[in-house]
Structures are given as structure tokens and as C-alpha cells.
Amino acid sequence: MALPYQRIIVKIGSNVLTQENGLPDQARIQHLVDQIAALKKVGKEVIVVSSGAVAAGRSLVQVSDKADAVSNRQLLAAVGQVKLLATYAALFGQHELVCAQVLVTKEDFRDRQHYLNMQNCFQALLQNNIIPVVNENDVISVTELMFTDNDELAGLVASMLDADALLILSNVDGIYDGDPKAPGAQLIPVIEPGTTSFSSFVTTQRSQFGRGGMITKCHMAHKVAQLGIAVHIANGKTENILPRILSENVVSTRFVANRTASRKKKWLAHAEPAAKGAVQLNAGAKAALTTPGKAVSLLPVGVLGIVGTFQKGDIIKLLDEAGKTIGLGVAEYGADKALERLGLQHQKPLVHYDYLFLSTAIS
């Protein structure tokens, strides 16, 4: 029986789209487009998060080894993104489908209003049966503006759009309990929500052409699954990989979805880089907030101290007594008023439950 996913994010990694010589694999791109078109024909909504701009640029121009690596990447991405989107447009056009380019940076997800504007754009594209093709804007994304890799970007898009599933296509079959190349390493078919540590068995080795690795995939997939979105990691070079994932007829790893969350909480789940300050909680407040099945706001009586400065509407971190981040929230008032009300009872919540996301520790 096919998995009942309706809105699907398909993330295609650099190693799937790229040949060993670093140039684009046209046959592979064609095959993936054919599969996506088949999903569209049965009524699925598909959003593509695609790497490959740098590889496409490498097929058109040569860069000097003496030039700065960041500048070379920007140049190749600027040239290659045009070719990559043109390739997708031509191939989807063979199926009488239209695609649209969506280029983003990490900064685009930090402002709530900007986030909502971007969300509205995606919704308009989907309502008009247009396939969004999303990529990081490598032309302007440098240092702190860069995503860890497109897995992080795919997770953000999946959360933003309330996707049913995120399918991550890599160049391996899934998550292993050790180095996939080592004798005896076993693939893990299912990872439950209660799994809290990956570093003990997941290799930190990065992919040949991408920026990330399996450890970053695991952390991102676990976070997205906690937000009620199933995540599958599979080999994008396997024949007919997309329909085979949906029919559960292929070797892969599935992160089981844990719970649903509001759109506000899904935005907050990925908003830690935008935090302006922090509040430190006492043990009682931490226990109250983390009690399963309870909807609790953060009150000033449970706050031990204020770290940094913030204004009403800013995102703030919630720290336990040891200084460890346990969640994120939107401040109902600024740091000055929070200091005045520190430890006092019968005060307005500093963070309302509707704007509070509690994270699960992952090591």
C-alpha cells in the first residue's frame, strides 16, 4: 500500500546530480524529472530542493585555481543556476509542466513577515500547479548567511509548507550503524522519535561535492520528524527511487514523524540563529514547560535571569540552570520589563505557549 503523502519535498543532493568528473549528470536529472512528473499526474504536490548550480557552472566556464574559493563558488553558481533552471524547465516542459525558480538565503527565514511572504509565494505556485525548484542563493550566501547544506534548507521548506514528507536523495542507501564502507555495517531502516544520539554511529565524513554529511542529515531529519513530517533518506541513483520510496519497496531509512505542530512553532523550530537574547529558567519552570501533554506559557516567576537585550516580538532562547538551550520563543515584552518582573507571580507571560517551541536534545 502506498504511503499517503500528498505534499512532498524532494531534496536532490549534489552527488546525485553530478558525475564523478564534477559535471552534471543529464540522464539522472531526466530520470528524476520523469518520476516527479509521474507523481504530479496522480495529484501529488511536489516541491524540489535541488543542488547542482555550481556543477552546472563548472560545465560552462573554467575558474582560476589562484582565485579565492568563495569568489569561484559565487561565479560558478551565478552562471550555473541559469543553466540548472533552464534544464529543469525544458525537462518539465516535455511533460507539459511549468517550474519556477526560488532562490533563498538563511536570512530569509529569520524575519517572521518575510517568512510569511515567502510562504504565500510557495502557496501561490502550488495552487497554480507550478513546481517550485528551490536552491540556496550561492551568489550572495557566504559565511554566516550560508545554510549548513541544502538538507537544512529542505527541512526549513518542509516545515514552512506543512509537508507530509521530506524525501532526501543522497548517494547512499540511508543511515548505517557505522561507516557504510566498513564490513558488517548495517543499514537502519527506521529511526524512532525517541532516538537522541547519532554521533556514536554516524560518520562525520562529508560528501564529495556537497557541504554536509550524514550527521547533519540525521540532526535535521530528526528535528523535522519531531514536527510531524516523515523523513526518508535514500539513494537518488537507484532506478525509480521516488515511487519505490512511496510504495516502501526500496532499501532506505525512515525517520518516523512524532507529532504535529502549528506553523508558528515550525518556524520557531529553525529560528535559533535569529535569537536576540535569552532567559534562564529555574528547575520548576523547566519541569512545567516540558511536562508532556501540558500547554504552559513561560511566566516571569520561573525566570532566574536575563541574558542580553531584546524587544517585544524578538526571538529569545530559553536556557536551563546549566545554560543549555531547551527551547525558543517570541518575547511578549522587552528585556527591561522582564527584569522588572523577574521572579514575580501574577504577571503576564513572557512567552505565550502559542509562540513557544521546546527542543529535544540531540548529540
From the annotation, which residues make up the binding site? Answer: 11, 51, 138, 150
Phi, psi of 40 (to 5 degrees): -60, -35
Q: Which runs of consecutive H residues, i.e. helices, occur in the chain? A: 14-17, 26-41, 53-58, 69-93, 112-127, 150-160, 214-226, 241-246, 263-268, 283-290, 335-340
Torsion of CA 16, 131, 107, 353, to 10 degrees: -110
How far apart CA 273 and CA 144 sit, in angstroms, is 9
Pairing of β 277-281 and β 230-235: unpaired
How far apart CA 25 and CA 50 sit, in angstroms, is 13
Distances (CA, A) of 328 to 26, 220, 228, 359: 43, 17, 18, 8
Pairing of β 315-319 and β 325-330: antiparallel
Summarize the annotated binding site for ATP as residue ranges. Answer: 11
The answer to whether 150 and 138 are in contact (CB under 8 A) is: no
Cell matching residue 255: 525517520
Task: Put the strands of the sheet holding 325-330 in their side by side order.
Answer: 303-308, 277-281, 315-319, 325-330, 356-358
Cell matching residue 312: 517585544
**Residue 228 CB neighbour total at 10 angstroms:** 16
How far apart CA 226 and CA 222 sit, in angstroms, is 6
Summarize the annotated binding site for substrate as residue ranges. Answer: 51, 138, 150
Torsion of CA 44, 161, 247, 10, to 10 degrees: 90
Helix (H) or strand (E) holding 303: strand 303-308
DSSP designation for 174: S
The neighbouring-strand residues paired with 254 are: 190, 232
Nearest alpha-carbon partner for 57 in 35, 73, 70: 73
